[in-house]
């Protein structure tokens, strides 16, 4: 089980637009097996979870380790995870983080909360961030070796670097 991937799912949820059922389908597009199970009650639950996850990323971005741990613990208390071992043969045992038959929202909640909890334990509480680019508030998971990620994407990174370069060139031109 790749808990960093689950933490990435949490970042993706925070960044997702969830105005309609189609938006939820877009968020789940890479997980077709879940799309078939989506119920109308999943959308409001996912919106609520998205609102509850953002402060974790913001606290981590501020390097407020205590707040991150407190918030993740609060999420673990609010959304208890019920893991179980599954597999089809002795070579494929793996862990699931929600009971069979759970709603899509319950499953995604368990994955996001466990992903963040394991990430905090394995990588540290300041491995989540908010994009440093102007006019971008997307969040990300930083698994870089030296905790150096500052942008949500290559696109934001490139834009920021080009803007900084142009600003330096303008400054040099005035000197």
User: Tens digit of pLDDT for each residue in 131-172?
Assistant: 999 889 999 999 988 888 889 988 898 887 777 777 788 877
| Distance separating alpha carbons of residues 78 and 60, to the nearest angstrom | 20
Confidence at residue 115, expressed as pLDDT on a 0 to 100 scale: 95
- Mean residue pLDDT of the chain comes to 91
Q: How far is CA 100 from CA 10, 109, 112, in A?
A: 21, 14, 17
Query: The dihedral of CA 95, 100, 106, 108: what is its sign?
Result: positive
E strands along the chain, which residues?
Answer: 84-86, 94-96, 128-130, 139-141
**Is 90 exceeded by the pLDDT of residue 99?**
no
Question: CA dihedral defined by 82, 69, 12, 25, rounded to 10 degrees?
Answer: 30
> What residues make up the domain containing 153?
3-174
C-beta of residue 9 within 8 angstroms of C-beta of residue 42: no
Whole-angstrom Cα distance, residue 172 to residue 14? 40
pLDDT computed for residue 21 by the predictor: 93
- Residues 90-95: contacts with CB under 8 Å, at least 24 apart: 94/1, 95/1
The total of structural domains in the chain comes to 1
Supply the pLDDT for residue 169: 81
Question: What is this structure's pTM?
Answer: 0.88
pLDDT confidence of residue 1: 58
Is the model's pLDDT at 17 over the cut of 80?
Answer: yes
What CATH number is given to the structural domain containing 55?
1.10.3300.10
- For CA atoms 86, 16, 126, 109, the dihedral sign is negative
Condensed to tens digits (0 to 9), the pLDDT of residues 25-82 reads 999 999 988 998 999 999 999 999 999 999 999 999 999 999 999 999 999 999 999 8
Hey, how many other C-beta atoms are within 10 angstroms of the C-beta on 85? 8
Q: Torsion-angle region of residue 141: left (phi > 0), alpha (psi -120 to 50) or beta?
A: beta
- Report pLDDT for 98: 85
């Amino acid at each position: 089980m790749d808990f960093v991937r689950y933490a990435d799912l949490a970042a993706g949820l925070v960044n997702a637009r969830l105005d309609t059922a189609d938006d939820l389908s877009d968020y789940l597009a890479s997980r077709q097996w879940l799309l078939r199970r989506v119920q109308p009650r999943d959308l409001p639950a996912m919106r609520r979870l998205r609102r509850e996850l953002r402060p974790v990323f913001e606290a981590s971005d501020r390097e407020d380790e205590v707040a991150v741990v407190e918030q993740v613990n609060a999420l673990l208390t609010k959304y208890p995870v019920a893991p179980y071992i599954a597999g089809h043969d002795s070579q494929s045992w793996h862990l699931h983080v929600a009971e069979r038959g759970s709603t899509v929202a319950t499953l995604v909640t368990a994955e996001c909360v466990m992903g963040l909890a394991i990430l905090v334990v394995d990588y540290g509480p300041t491995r989540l961030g908010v994009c440093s680019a102007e006019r971008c508030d997307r969040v990300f998971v930083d698994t870089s070796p030296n905790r150096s990620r500052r942008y949500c994407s290559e696109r934001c990174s490139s834009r920021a670097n080009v803007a900084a370069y142009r600003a330096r060139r303008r400054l040099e031109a005035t000197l």
